[in-house]
């Protein structure tokens, strides 16, 4: 995995209070060897620059009012919305997922965890749709299990019955927990938009990319022993961007 | 006003005049015990502070260790006891904020937190539960929000903390060797305060911490208000300033507020300061005294060369951090404080920053003799009762699983946490410089652990304190690390009490003797006195935070967790002795005080640790566990719980000098390790150990679903389920939610 893919540039949106931005940067730059840039929240024009956008976890604006709501109104999110409409892959992780929901890019809402406390632990997810449904799951088969940690306080996903049915029909419920850590409705861990290019997930794949960071009892489903399950999300994205590159050339 | 008559006289003499009222406020804040160490300073010289990895020892905001490859590690420890006892959420959260800013002051990025907490009896005391719940929530909310993982810690419960609590937090930082910020400054450099607006919170916080805790409602105004969002912005902005090289000195505003920060910085620089208080950005209207001693949180001082000011301003503006250019450095070593055009204080910085030392009396307290002459042993329990005793010990909150605590902490953020809480005896962090090297680059792995034992230190502060140091070293050795440095936090009652002061001196002696013998330098620490309530002083509670290095180059192995497999052999290294004083077995089960606290045999302690590290490096062990609170029986049970499998143990094989089975099971003798070893490796283990002068024995093997402890034909059997159930007592006590 020492090939550098200079064909793509991935942007990581940084809000005041983002705190997983550098972790995502590490994974994309040092493990995936792709070009990556931080995007400060005040930028309004992102057009033509970025092939994919990551909205990292953390506590944008300290989760004031409620998680993700202030960030959703920042200039950069208006630009991200335009990119999303144009089909650019966008992934929001943890707080990034909350921001995507508050921005209206993804359906649903978040509530406090059932435990009422912050919860940090490794969970087992299952891919609930076909891998081709989103750019971030391309290399996975439906039913694939992924061992990835969560760390959140308002991580309990909720959506009304009608929307849930609609989402199920549209194959928008991308990941489900096998061991629901926060009381999310229908064990939902990640969802995508109707088009499939915008994915939000509560667990942190960037924390599960290197086996050295996995707890000793975790199971590794990746064939390459040095990598954890989370890497498959990022590899899928790169694979998708490369495929697109070939088609467009 | 908290100055004594003697101090006031000393001040008048130094000034050759009466101080102005502002000068008096400044000096009172800085000369508080909390800021000045006026009682403890002479004794802290006993610590050995030099070592192979030490770049900067005690005296700065954080100790600095050189771990190679241009990487520096910074480490510091703080407590926030009084504030947490009044307002546990805000007190604990601001404790985190404070220690983070000490790490920032060296130009290093905070990358990990540890917490050491002490409360009363949470089984029977609602108030203790309230404190415990909210202290943990305060640490979680602050640490999680700023993206610094809380990776390790310890919690102890003891009646001496009833109506009170000890909240200690340690922080680890990382810096590039070529970017370390030392205090530097030249005449006309700008003195800038950035961060939160100064307000009326935390007025007299340092004086509050320098007297006995009375738990009065009005003390709440002395507790600061946490703002983790500003804390996070300050981290990011400061690191950008350090990266750009546009600041010459950084200093945290902590206890004593501006008064202490300005005087200490000026004194360190050997410079004076011209300060215009009209420029200070305020939250509310305040008097000049209040401005000088307010302890409003999330404020930093920066010394900036005028030619770099624009760069500094761009960074602060990017993060929308308010700041004020408060003044500039002068060459006359005096603090000149101006307000409304008038000079309202003019005092030599060195006078403010260096309180006269107070010589305290130290007299051995009579309770120690009393315990010695009234020491007894409990009645020997029936063999059948031992299972019940072991289960009760496992459910003892001081021993039971702390999962309820660390689940609430983000311990993963930063992608450095290799060994996570609950998996082994110490945390392990993977380090490189801002991920700069990337794949295949050389990483350093460090281990950290903080330990304390108030029960041992109460009965025998010298040996108890030394034992805490030994235990912290054992814990980092268990994951494969060689101890390279320590920071300590010494917590006692009032130093004005000659009996309390004796326990302080003994404790320092114990720690210093251990550090000197082991060549483990002390690179920083804190002293916290006046930890007293209406019921008297807390038990002496020194804490030791040890940093270990796994690889001093490319080799080295990290023990990631308890990975004993079926059929693995259980081996003990070390000698179990009849040292039952302060043991959980005597105190928690029998409520008996006994004088024979475990003593560290220094040479033997080093031998056992070296032996275990050699085995780990040779790859000959599947897991390693330290033997401490609750003794051998608890340690074996913990290994079973962690690996999810039972064990069969023949106790008569354990190397010991005990005369009773209960002592053998529950003695807390130091320098002992339990190891699980693959049967195939046993010969190699024995060969390797033949070079080490340590007691060792194979005492059992792992398999099955229960722990069976046998002794010459009779035995008890405890199911895994019942052990797990007992061990989960804290989660049950605290239940769900806030």
Q: Answer yes or no: do B414 and A116 touch at CB < 8 A.
A: no
Can you tell me the mean pLDDT for A85-108?
Answer: 97
Distance from CA of A248 to the nearest CA of B (A): 31
The residue to which tokens 């590039």 are assigned: B176
Q: What is the pTM of this model?
A: 0.95
Work out the minimum CA distance from B423 to partner chain A, whole angstroms.
8
* Residues in CB range of B514: below 8 A, 6 or more apart: B466, B469, B470, B520, B600, B602
Rounded Cα distance, B61 and B252, in Å: 8
Output the pLDDT for position A249.
Answer: 42
pLDDT, tens only, B255-275: 889 999 999 999 999 999 999
How many other CB atoms are found less than 10 A from the CB of residue B225?
A: 16
Contacts of B357 (CB under 8 A, 6+ apart): B38, B39, B41, B42
Residue A20, chain B, CB below 8 Å: the answer is yes
Same CATH topology for B1-31+181-355 and B381-400+562-738: the answer is: yes
Q: Which chain A residue's Cα is nearest to B231?
A: A17
Of B140, B415, B437, the CB nearest to A213: B415
Apex B415 CA angle, A41 and B134, nearest 5? 80
Contact B140 A30 (CB under 8 A): no
Q: Return the CATH class of domain B381-400+562-738.
A: alpha beta
CB B487 within 8 A of CB B469: no
Question: In the beta sheet, which residues pair with residue A14?
Answer: A40
The dihedral over CA atoms of B636, B639, B645, B646, expressed in degrees to the nearest 10, equals 0
Give the neighbor-by-neighbor strand order of the sheet with B323-330. B249-252, B299-304, B190-195, B323-330, B272-276, B334-339, B342-348
A165 touches B: beta carbon within 8 Å: no
Tokens of A226: 């040095």
Choosing from A102, A154, A192, A206, which is the catalytic residue? Answer: A206
> Which residue in chain B has the smallest CA separation from A62?
B229
* pLDDT tens-digit readout, B564-591: 889 999 999 999 999 999 999 999 999 9
Note whether A17 contacts B: Cβ–Cβ < 8 A.
Answer: yes
A118 touches chain B (CB under 8 A): yes
Query: What sign does the dihedral A35-A38-A43-A44 (CA atoms) show?
Result: positive
Q: Give the pLDDT band (50/70/90) at residue B625.
A: very high
pLDDT at B682 over 60: yes
Instruction: Determine the 3-state secondary structure of B727 from DSSP.
Output: helix
- The residues on B that touch A, with CB distances below 8 Å, are 137, 140-141, 144-147, 228-229, 232-233, 236, 318-320, 406-415, 417-418, 420, 423, 430, 434-435, 437-439, 560-563, 736-738
The enclosing H or E element of B638 equals: helix B631-643
Nearest chain A Cα distance for residue B393, angstroms: 26
What's the whole-number mean pLDDT along residues B134-156? 97
Q: Chain A: residue nearest B139 by CA?
A: A118
Flag if A116 and B417 touch (Cβ within 8 Å).
no
pLDDT of residue B552: 61
Contact status, residue A226 vs residue A138, Cβ threshold 8 Å = no
On whether the CB atoms of residues A203 and A189 are closer than 8 A, the answer is yes
Answer whether B291's CB lies under 8 Å from B258's CB. Answer: yes
Read off the pLDDT of residues B367-382 as tens digits, 9 standing for 90 and up. Answer: 999 999 999 999 999 8
Is A4 a residue whose pLDDT tops 60?
no
| pLDDT band (50, 70, 90) for residue B515 | very high
Q: Do A64 and B229 touch (CB under 8 A)?
A: yes
**C-alpha to C-alpha distance for B33 and B526, rounded to whole angstroms:** 11
CA distance A14 to B233: 12
Q: Provide the chain A residues 180-209 that lie in CB contact (below 8 A) with chain B.
A: 204, 206-207
Q: Which of A20, A154, A192, A204 is catalytic?
A: A204
Which residues of B are less than 8 Å from A39 in CB distance? none
Is the C-alpha dihedral spanning A222, A226, A230, A234 positive or negative?
negative
Report residue B72 as tokens. 């520096």
Q: Is the Cβ pair A115, B736 closer than 8 Å? A: yes
Contact criterion met (CB < 8 Å) for A116 and B736? yes
Residues of chain A neighbouring B417 (CB-CB closer than 8 A): 213
User: Quick check: B677 and B622 in contact, CB under 8 A?
Assistant: yes
Across residues B127-140, what is the average pLDDT? 97
- pLDDT tens digits, residue range A145-200? 999 999 999 999 999 999 999 999 999 999 999 999 999 999 999 999 999 999 99
Query: By three-state DSSP, how is residue B240 classified?
Result: helix
The pLDDT > 70 percentage for chain B reads: 95
Q: DSSP label at B541? A: -
Which residue(s) pair with A183 in the sheet? none
CB contact under 8 A, B412 and A207: yes
**What is the spatial distance between Cα B327 and Cα B336, in angstroms, rounded to a whole number?**
10
Residue of B412, B550, B564, B738 for testing the chain A interface, max A β-carbons within 10 Å:
B412
Give the E-state strand segments of B646-722 in sequence order.
647-650, 673-677, 696-702, 706-711, 714-719
pLDDT bin (cut points 50, 70, 90) of residue B439 is: very low
Instruction: Tell me the pLDDT of chain B averaged across its residues.
Output: 93
Evaluate if residue B307 carries a pLDDT over 50: yes
pLDDT at B212: 72
Q: Whole-angstrom distance between the N-terminal and C-terminal Cα of chain A?
A: 24
pLDDT score of B411: 96
Task: Return d(Cα B193, Cα B338) in angstroms, integer.
Answer: 16
| Token digits of residue B720 | 């895994």
Strand order in B647-650's β-sheet? B623-626, B673-677, B569-573, B696-702, B647-650, B706-711, B714-719
pLDDT digits 0-9 by tens, B389-429: 999 999 999 999 999 999 999 999 999 999 999 989 999 99
| A151 to chain B, closest Cα gap in Å | 6
ipTM value of the model? Answer: 0.93
Cβ pair B423:A40 closer than 8 A:
no
User: Going along A66-153, which residue ranges are E strands?
Assistant: 90-93, 109-111, 119-127, 145-152
Residue B719 structure tokens: 């199911």
The torsion angles phi and psi of B8, rounded to 5 degrees, stand at -65, -40
For residues B191-212, give the mean pLDDT.
81
pLDDT digits (tens, 9 = 90+) for B631-676: 999 999 999 999 999 999 999 999 999 999 999 999 999 999 999 9
| Under 8 Å between Cβ of B238 and B104 | yes
Query: Considering chain B, what percentage of its residues have pLDDT values greater than 90?
Result: 84
Identify which has the larger pLDDT, B554 or B102.
B102
Q: Give the Cα separation of A230 and B200 in Å (integer).
A: 47
Query: Average pLDDT over chain A, rounded to whole?
Result: 91
* Cβ distance of B409 and A118 shorter than 8 Å: yes
What's the rounded mean pLDDT across residues B704-715?
Answer: 93
CA nearest to B228 within chain A: A62
Residue B591, number of CB atoms within 10 A of its CB: 8
Tokens 């063999």 -> residue: B383
pLDDT at B610 over 60: yes
Contacts (Cβ under 8 Å, ≥6 apart) of B165: B81, B84, B85, B88, B117, B118, B119, B120, B128, B131, B132, B135
Cβ-based contacts of B319 with chain A (< 8 Å): 16
Q: How far apart are CA A136 and CA A130, in angstroms?
A: 11
The pair of three-digit structure tokens given for residue B698, joined into one six-digit string: 């194979």
Smallest Cα distance from A3 to chain B, Å: 12
Residue B440 pLDDT greater than 50, yes or no: no
From A30, A12, A3, select the one nearest A242 (Cα to Cα): A3
Answer whether A63 touches B (CB < 8 Å). yes
Cross-strand bridge partners of residue B429:
B417, B446
Count CB neighbours of A42 within 10 A: 10
Q: Quick one: which of B517, B452, B526 has its CA closest to B161?
A: B452
Residue-wise pLDDT tens digits, B442-466: 788 999 999 999 999 999 999 999 9
Give me the pLDDT at residue B246, please: 96
| Beta-strand relationship, B714-719 and B706-711 | antiparallel
CA-to-CA distance for B16 and A63, rounded, in angstroms? 54
Percent share of chain A, pLDDT over 90: 80
| pLDDT greater than 70 at residue A7 | no
Of B145, B415, B738, the CB nearest to A59: B145
| B154 touches B471 (CB < 8 A) | no
Report CB contact under 8 Å: B738, A16.
no
Q: Does domain B1-31+181-355 have CATH number 3.90.650.10?
A: yes
Residues B128-163, buried b or exposed e (16+ Cβ, 10 A)?
Answer: bbebbbbbbbbbbbbbbbbbbbbbbbbbbbbebbbe
SS3 state at B669: coil
Rounded mean pLDDT of B278-287? Answer: 94
> Do A26 and B145 make contact, defined as CB atoms within 8 angstroms?
no
Chain B CB within 8 Å of residue A4 CB: no
Q: If you measure CA to CA, which chain A residue comes closest to B319?
A: A16
pLDDT band at B560 (very low <50, low <70, confident <90, very high): confident
Q: What's the number of CA atoms in the CB half-sphere (13 Å) around residue B437?
A: 14
Pick from B100, B147, B434, B625 the residue to mutate for testing the A interface (most A CBs within 10 Å). Answer: B147
CB B548 within 8 A of CB B518: no
Contacts of B434 in chain A (CB under 8 A): 22
User: Under a CB-based contact definition with an 8 Å cutoff, are residues B580 and B661 in contact?
Assistant: no
Chain A hits for B146, CB-CB cut-off 8 Å, are: 19
* Domain-wise residue ranges, chain B: 1-31+181-355, 381-400+562-738
Task: Determine whether the interchain pair A121/B407 forms a contact, defined as Cβ–Cβ distance below 8 Å.
Answer: yes
- B119 phi and psi angles, rounded to 5 deg: -140, 170
A29:B438 CB<8 A: yes
Distance from CA of B476 to the nearest CA of A (A): 17
Residues of B with a catalytic annotation lie at 34, 80
Q: Any residues with CB less than 8 A from the CB of B696 and at least 6 apart, and which?
A: B571, B572, B573, B574, B611, B655, B689
Residue A31 carries which DSSP code? I
**Rounded CA gap, B705 and B552, in Å?**
40
Mean pLDDT across B167-177: 95
- Say how far apart CA B290 and CA B250 lie, in whole Å: 23
pLDDT of residue A243: 86
CB contact under 8 A, B228 and A216: no
Q: B232 vs A20: CB contact, 8 Å cut-off?
A: no
Rounded Cα distance between B97 and B82, Å, is 16
C-alpha count within 13 angstroms, C-beta hemisphere, residue B36: 26
The pLDDT assigned to B436 comes to: 46
Query: Which stretches of B170-325 are DSSP H helices?
Result: 205-208, 228-244, 257-269, 288-293, 309-318
């Amino acid at each position: 995995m020492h090939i550098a893919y200079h064909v793509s540039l991935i942007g990581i949106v940084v809000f005041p209070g983002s705190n997983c931005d550098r972790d995502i940067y590490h994974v994309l730059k040092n493990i995936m060897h792709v070009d990556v840039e931080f995007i400060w929240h005040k930028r309004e024009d992102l057009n033509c620059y970025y092939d994919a956008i990551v909205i990292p976890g953390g506590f944008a604006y300290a989760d004031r009012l409620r998680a993700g709501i202030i960030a959703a109104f920042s200039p950069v999110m208006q630009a991200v919305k335009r990119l999303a409409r144009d089909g650019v892959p966008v992934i929001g992780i943890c707080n990034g997922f909350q921001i995507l929901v508050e921005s209206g890019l993804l359906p649903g809402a978040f509530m406090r965890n059932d435990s009422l406390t912050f919860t940090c632990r490794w969970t087992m997810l299952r891919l609930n749709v076909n891998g081709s449904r989103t750019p971030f799951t391309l290399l996975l088969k439906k039913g694939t299990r992924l061992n990835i940690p969560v760390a959140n306080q308002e991580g309990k996903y909720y959506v009304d019955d009608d929307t849930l049915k609609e989402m199920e029909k549209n194959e928008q419920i991308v990941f489900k927990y096998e061991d629901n850590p926060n009381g999310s409705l229908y064990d939902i861990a990640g969802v995508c938009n109707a088009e499939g290019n915008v994915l939000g997930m509560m667990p942190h794949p960037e924390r599960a990319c290197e086996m050295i960071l996995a707890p000793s009892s975790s199971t590794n489903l990746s064939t390459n022993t040095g990598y954890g399950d989370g890497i498959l999300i990022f590899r899928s994205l790169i694979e998708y961007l490369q495929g697109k590159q070939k088609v467009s050339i | 006003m908290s100055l004594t008559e003697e101090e006031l006289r000393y001040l008048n003499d130094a000034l050759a005049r009466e101080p102005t009222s502002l000068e008096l406020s400044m000096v009172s804040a800085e000369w508080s015990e909390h800021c000045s160490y006026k009682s403890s300073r002479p004794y802290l010289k006993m610590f050995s502070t030099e070592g192979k990895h030490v770049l900067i020892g005690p005296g700065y905001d954080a100790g600095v260790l050189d771990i190679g490859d241009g990487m520096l590690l910074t480490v510091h420890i703080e407590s926030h006891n009084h504030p947490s006892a009044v307002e546990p959420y805000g007190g604990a959260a601001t404790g985190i904020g404070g220690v983070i800013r000490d790490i920032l002051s060296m130009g290093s990025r905070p990358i990990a937190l540890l917490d050491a907490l002490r409360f009363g009896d949470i089984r029977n005391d609602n108030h203790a539960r309230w404190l415990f719940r909210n202290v943990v929530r305060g640490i979680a909310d602050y640490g999680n929000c700023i993206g610094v993982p809380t990776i390790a810690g310890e919690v102890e419960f003891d009646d001496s903390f009833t109506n009170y609590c000890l909240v200690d937090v340690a922080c680890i930082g990382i810096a590039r060797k070529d970017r370390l910020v030392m205090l530097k400054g030249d005449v006309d450099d700008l003195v800038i305060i950035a961060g939160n607006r100064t307000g009326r919170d935390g007025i007299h916080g340092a004086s509050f911490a320098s007297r006995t805790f009375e738990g009065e409602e009005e003390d709440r105004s002395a507790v600061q208000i946490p703002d983790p969002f500003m804390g996070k912005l300050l981290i990011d902005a400061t690191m950008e300033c350090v990266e750009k090289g546009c600041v010459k000195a950084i200093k945290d505003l902590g206890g004593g507020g501006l008064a202490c920060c300005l005087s200490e910085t000026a004194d360190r620089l050997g410079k004076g300061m011209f300060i215009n208080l009209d420029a200070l950005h305020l939250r509310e209207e305040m008097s000049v005294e209040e401005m000088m001693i307010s302890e409003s949180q999330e404020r930093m001082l920066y010394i900036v060369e005028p030619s770099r000011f624009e760069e500094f301003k761009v960074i602060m503006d990017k993060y929308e951090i308010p700041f004020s250019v408060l003044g500039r450095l002068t060459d006359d070593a005096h603090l000149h404080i101006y307000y409304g055009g008038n000079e309202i204080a003019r005092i030599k910085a060195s006078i403010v920053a260096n309180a006269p030392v107070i010589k305290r009396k130290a007299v051995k307290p009579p309770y120690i003799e009393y315990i010695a002459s009234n020491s007894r042993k409990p009645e020997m329990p029936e063999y059948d009762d031992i299972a019940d005793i072991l289960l009760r010990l496992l459910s003892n909150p001081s021993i039971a699983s702390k999962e309820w605590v660390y689940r609430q902490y983000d311990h993963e953020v930063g992608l450095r946490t290799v060994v996570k809480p609950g998996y082994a005896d110490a945390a392990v962090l993977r380090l490189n410089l801002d991920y700069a090297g990337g794949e295949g680059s050389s990483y350093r792995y460090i281990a950290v652990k903080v330990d304390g034992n108030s029960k041992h230190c109460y009965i025998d502060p010298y040996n108890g304190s030394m034992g805490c140091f030994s235990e912290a070293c054992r814990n980092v050795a268990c994951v494969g690390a060689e101890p390279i440095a320590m920071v300590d936090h010494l917590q006692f009652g009032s130093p004005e009490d000659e009996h309390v002061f004796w326990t302080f001196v003994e404790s320092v002696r114990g720690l210093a003797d251990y550090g000197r013998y082991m060549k483990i330098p002390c690179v920083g620490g804190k002293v916290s006195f006046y930890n007293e309530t209406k019921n008297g002083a807390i038990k002496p509670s020194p804490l030791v935070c040890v940093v270990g290095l796994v690889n001093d180059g490319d080799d080295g192995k990290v023990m990631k967790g308890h990975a004993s497999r079926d059929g693995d052999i259980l081996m003990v290294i070390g000698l179990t002795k009849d040292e039952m004083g302060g043991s959980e077995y005597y105190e928690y089960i029998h409520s008996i005080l006994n004088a024979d606290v475990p003593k560290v045999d220094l040479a033997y302690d080093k031998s056992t640790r070296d032996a275990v590290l050699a085995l780990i490096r040779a790859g000959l062990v599947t897991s390693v566990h330290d033997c401490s609170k609750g003794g051998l029986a608890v340690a074996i049970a913990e290994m079973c719980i962690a690996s999810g499998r039972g064990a069969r143990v023949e106790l008569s094989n354990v190397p010991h000098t005990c005369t009773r089975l209960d002592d053998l099971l529950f003695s807390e003798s130091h320098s002992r390790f339990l190891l699980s070893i693959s049967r195939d490796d046993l010969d190699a283990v024995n060969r390797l150990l033949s070079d080490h002068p340590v007691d060792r024995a194979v005492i059992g093997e792992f398999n099955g679903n229960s722990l069976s402890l046998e002794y010459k034909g009779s035995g008890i059997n405890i199911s895994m389920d019942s052990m797990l159930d007992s061990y989960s007592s804290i989660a049950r006590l605290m239940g769900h939610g806030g």
